[in-house]
Structure 1
Amino acid sequence: MVNGMWKKCNWRDFMKVCIVAMTGLYPLDIGGPAPVAYFLAKELNRNGIDVMMFIRADSEKNLKFKNTEEIKELKRTEIIPIDVTYNAKTFLNIQSLIYKVLEANKRFKEILKDVDVIFYNSPPVDVVLCFPFISKQSSKKQVFALHGGLFYESKNLVGKLLMQLQKNWFDKVVAVSAFSRDIALKFGFSRDKIEIISNGIDLDPIRAAEPFNLLGCPKILHVGRLAQIKGVDTLLKAFSIIIKNFPEAHLYLVGDGPERSNLEKLSDSLGIMGNTHFEGFIPPGKDVFRYYKSCDLFVMPSHKETFGITLLEAMASKIPVIVADIDGGPRELIKNGENGFLFPVGDYKILAEKIIEVFENKNLMEKFVSENYSLIEDRYTWRKIILKYMALFKTLERKN
């Protein structure tokens, strides 16, 4: 179906897309933007489109990145690494940083003549901050994807100021949800430039994943950063209630972050440390999918999510889901009582009630699983999502 639509769209004259992905490298890093850049490149390649992808990585990480099985699949993607790390030492050596900016600009100008559309998968406010201006001077079409971070979580005031200066240079803005669109509007992006294109997932590796033999019955899973905005403390408090009803229950937390130490202390004070497993960071991919396949329930207690790829992964893995009732992906994907449960943000008592209700009602669990898997197959695979990107890029290419 995709190839048929591709031929209809007359993409033979469409030569290259440049993806600028300076936040996260799939499959080495976790987080929403990273897999979007990877799967966008993969699907464009699959449909005969060449891609050039700028990434931020030192030589060691770039080598590791290029040697992953996933990246080896990108037969028509050229990876262009920019070796820069942001820390105090970087900004003390401002001369070196300026040199790297100039080198990045030089390489970008070299490839720009062969590129039809530039897609920014992260805010161009770092070493690539000149790219939008250079592209505008060359009359190239530019698309910016708003995933969230900088616009509601980050305290990077300089980055926000740079985005204010650049925002009128983008021809289109991709919002991953209605919530993401509202953030874009509030920031000052023009409504007529915004297109909602959700994140997607690849079903094949999820289907192929085999479960681990994990302790616990039942087993509860959370996948994500251990940061305050993810609300993991709410899940821990709820779990302290759950094990009174289900003494053999175990909780698995896949991910790492600045709150890990505090959360471990909280687990200890709640008396649940023996049943709680801090699994640490696990690169996105088959091992993470094995956790989904091994557990009985996925919980997303976040305070904010522009979309939530881990929620899609859980739904595709055929386990029931319970999510905080927040704008963005969770509220747009989950209809309370129909394909999952919503609970008020931070209300661990109601979360515990919902978890118990799911575990005590097998028919309800099966209903949630069936509804969600059908939803994923119908609307959220990358082979469906890429059609929207292709149509968007084609519209811009016509205007070039």
Structure 2
Amino acid sequence: MSLRIAFVYDVVYPWVKGGVEKRIYELARRLAKEHEVHVYGYKLWEGRDEIEREGIVYHGTVGVDLSKLYVSGRRSPLPPILHSLKLPLRMKGERFDVIDCQASPYLPSYALRLLDMENVLITWHEFWGDYWLEYLGHAGSLAREVERGLFSFKRHIAVSRKTELDLLEAGLRKPIRVVPNGIDLPLVRWIRPAELESDFIFVGRLIREKGVDALIRALAEVKDELPDFRAVIVGDGPERARLERLAGEMGLGENVIFTGFLRDYSDVIALMKSSRVFAFPSRREGFGMVVLEAMASGIPVVTSDHPMNASRFLVEDGKTGFVVSDKKLSGALIMALERWKRMGHFASRRAGAYDWDRIVKELLSAYGVVG
């Protein structure tokens, strides 16, 4: 049975290459082989508002300057508002078998209500709840209620077990299906290691929540035992200048390399495959797709045991990596480096359960398609 499917979010891959947009892209391009697939988001391309790529129809709502997507390290509220106002005009008169609307940034879901759209399914990449108060202070109360308002929708998907548990604890009493993110295993295994070798590698947006400051401090302790180690930090963001200064202040100028943002996905995987340990001390993570990519690349993962870090559920502590506090980060990095071949072998096998082709079948099952 061929379906007409719409994915609704704000930013769109490949113009923005974060975890959520990558998930939508990987699912959409596989679904498009047998189904009609549409993606609604910001217009990040030149030309017409509607374009087709790889069998996917992209509908642009509002043009957004990516350099203004973040304000003071946080997502600007204006683009999602404009996107949500324009969304009903773009979708008016359309009929879909499934509308897979990503929970954040919340407002598009309410816009679909204005259209009285049926078959809307909310996909939760994380649930913040009371964390909104910590993140925004008193203003977080409104954001918390807007988030909880999505509980009124009938069908829900969580991308991680942690998010499912958070939703249940918050009082969601509607059916929830866990459909995780995945990885393109054949592609990862085809990519050759880079020439630049390293002992430790981090990949991600350089924002406070990623915990790269804790990583740099831990690496300063590692240097006491391994003075000649090399670490590569891949990514860009508002924290980059501060983190580069911190690395210099900690005496790591010769040990730590900041590559900046790498546009080519294969370049990122190649650097992972030429490293020995993936360091990911994130304090808040809805899933942690990059952790799966590191595991598929055959290297163990050291990540944070912070309660908001869902990627810790992907790591089997002591077997495919370590889940530790910031205080124990340096010791875990050294242990992972000592055991990286054996742990990397187990990590690679574990990653096999997350091949995108398998995830597509799980998603269709969640949509109600049998077989």
**TM-score of Structure 1 vs Structure 2, range by shorter chain:** 0.7 to 0.9
Contact 1:124/1:132 (CA < 8 Å) preserved in 2?
A: no
Distance 1:45 1:252 in 2: 36
Distance 1:280 1:105 in 2: 37
Q: How much has 1:252 moved relative to structure 2?
A: 0.8
Quote the residue 2:17 is aligned against: 30
Gaps of 5+ in 1: 1-11, 89-93
Quote the residue 2:4 is aligned against: 16
Moved more, 153-162 or 223-232: 153-162
Quote the residue 2:126 is aligned against: 148
**1:124-152: CA deviations, max 9, x gaps?**
534x35433145x24x1111111127654
Q: Which of 331, 347, 357 matches 1:372?
A: 347
**2:266 aligned with 1:286, yes or no?**
yes
Quote the residue 2:43 is aligned against: 57
1:175–1:98: structure 2 CA closer, same or farther, 3 Å change rule?
closer
1:208–1:332: structure 2 CA closer, same or farther, 3 Å change rule?
same
Q: Secondary structure of 2:181's match?
A: coil
Q: How much has 1:178 moved relative to structure 2?
A: 2.1
Matches within 5 A, 1:105-184: 105-111=88-94, 113=95, 115-123=96-104, 125-126=106-107, 128=108, 130-134=110-114, 137-138=116-117, 140-148=118-126, 152=131, 155=136, 157=140, 159-168=143-152, 170-184=153-167
Gaps of 5+ in 2: 70-77
Quote the residue 1:6 is aligned against: none
Matches within 5 A, 1:28-107: 28-46=15-33, 48-60=34-46, 72=53, 74-75=54-55, 77-85=56-64, 103-107=86-90
Moved more, 101-110 or 308-317: 101-110
Contact 2:127/2:166 (CA < 8 Å) preserved in 1?
A: no
1:62–1:295: structure 2 CA closer, same or farther, 3 Å change rule?
farther
Q: Secondary structure of 1:336's match?
A: coil
Q: Which of 274, 278, 285 matches 1:298?
A: 278
**2:294 aligned with 1:314, yes or no?**
yes
1:234–1:171: structure 2 CA closer, same or farther, 3 Å change rule?
same
**1:19-43: CA deviations, max 9, x gaps?**
1021x33233232211111011012
Contact 1:142/1:172 (CA < 8 Å) preserved in 2?
A: yes
**2:335 aligned with 1:357, yes or no?**
yes
Q: Which of 362, 366, 370 matches 1:388?
A: 362
**2:314 aligned with 1:333, yes or no?**
yes
Quote the residue 1:5 is aligned against: none
**1:363-383: CA deviations, max 9, x gaps?**
x32221221211111x21111
Quote the residue 1:4 is aligned against: none
**1:262-319: CA deviations, max 9, x gaps?**
2112111101022211111223621211111121111111112222001000000011
Q: Secondary structure of 1:83's match?
A: strand
Distance 1:201 1:282 in 2: 18
Distance 2:82 2:283 in 1: 40
Question: Aligned partner of 1:49: which letter?
Answer: H
Please, what is the CA RMSD of the aligned residues? 3.0
Q: How much has 1:189 moved relative to structure 2?
A: 2.7
Contact 1:28/1:283 (CA < 8 Å) preserved in 2?
A: no
Moved more, 25-34 or 383-392: 25-34
Distance 1:171 1:29 in 2: 30
Quote the residue 1:208 is aligned against: 190
Contact 1:322/1:340 (CA < 8 Å) preserved in 2?
A: yes
**1:31-75: CA deviations, max 9, x gaps?**
2211111011012113x0111110213444999x97xxxx84x22
Contact 1:18/1:53 (CA < 8 Å) preserved in 2?
A: yes
Q: How much has 1:208 moved relative to structure 2?
A: 2.1
**2:247 aligned with 1:263, yes or no?**
no
Distance 1:101 1:296 in 2: 44
Distance 1:195 1:269 in 2: 47
The TM-score, its normalising length taken from structure 1, stands at 0.79
What's the % identity of the aligned pairs? 26
Bigger helix fraction? 1
Q: Secondary structure of 2:351's match?
A: helix
Q: Secondary structure of 1:304's match?
A: coil
Q: Secondary structure of 1:274's match?
A: coil
Question: Aligned partner of 1:123: which letter?
Answer: S
Distance 1:62 1:39 in 2: 23
Question: Aligned partner of 1:391: which letter?
Answer: S
The TM-score, its normalising length taken from structure 2, stands at 0.85
Distance 1:26 1:368 in 2: 32
Quote the residue 1:91 is aligned against: none
**1:85-132: CA deviations, max 9, x gaps?**
3869xxxxx9x9998755431220232x2x111001343534x35433
Distance 2:124 2:279 in 1: 25
Distance 1:37 1:159 in 2: 24
Distance 1:184 1:208 in 2: 38
